[in-house]
Structure 1
């Protein structure tokens, strides 16, 4: 009868190299996914805040043009509101997690 004493050195090296290959491909992917999650979460929060900041201009006829800078999720966010024809245009500008400038605009009809 043949006696099995465990794994050979070649089997251990092959399995370790497979494991290291999987680990080295998964860490960058997890970093990319986490960064994109942060960007989408910040975008959702900031656009919701733009909607909320725009309400006084639509309902109470607050004076335009108007600009303000606020801190949301440790990011400096610039809100601007202007009258564009018969609409109130509210825009927001910020720097996302990839250090790129991002902006979003909403339009609304002021209450007459």
Structure 2
């Protein structure tokens, strides 16, 4: 009798191990991709918030209050600017890839 191949049990055990590895790695990769996208969106929105704050910081008037929305990186982002004491507070509000609302605020001092 010649034994030139794998037995059925060996094939089933190998398949079970392979499926276990796949079902563990695929969700991890999916989570990593979502987190990468979330951090990338956050970075782009913070840079856009900084750029949108500049005209308010350099304007001659110190009374500033403004709200508007803008499409940033294929997302609707609401920008809000308001004076708080001697600072200008600029906030960006959007819905991230995990469908949670995220808010980031920056503060600046008006140019004199």
TM range, smaller chain: over 0.9
Listed one character per residue, the Cα deviations across residues 1-50 of structure 1 (whole Å, up to 9, x for unaligned) are x7331111111110010001101111111111111111100000001100
CA distance in 2, matches of 1:23, 1:67: 47
After the TM superposition, which parts of structure 1 deviate over 3 Å for at least 4 consecutive aligned residues? none
Partner SS, residue 105 of structure 2: strand
- TM-score, normalization: structure 2? 0.93
Question: Which residue number in structure 2 is paired with residue 107 of structure 1?
Answer: 107
Are residues 61 and 32 of structure 1, via their aligned partners in 2, closer, same or farther at CA, if it must alter by over 3 Å? farther
How much has 1:96 moved relative to structure 2? 0.3
CA distance in 2, matches of 1:61, 1:15: 72
- TM-score, normalization: structure 1? 0.93
Q: Which stretches in structure 2 are left out of the alignment for 5+ residues? A: none
Q: Does 1:65 align with 2:65?
A: yes
- What does 1:1-112 correspond to in 2, within 5 Å? 3-61=2-60, 64-112=64-112
- What root-mean-square deviation, in Å, do the aligned CA atoms of Structure 1 and Structure 2 show? 1.3
Q: Which stretches in structure 1 are left out of the alignment for 5+ residues? A: none
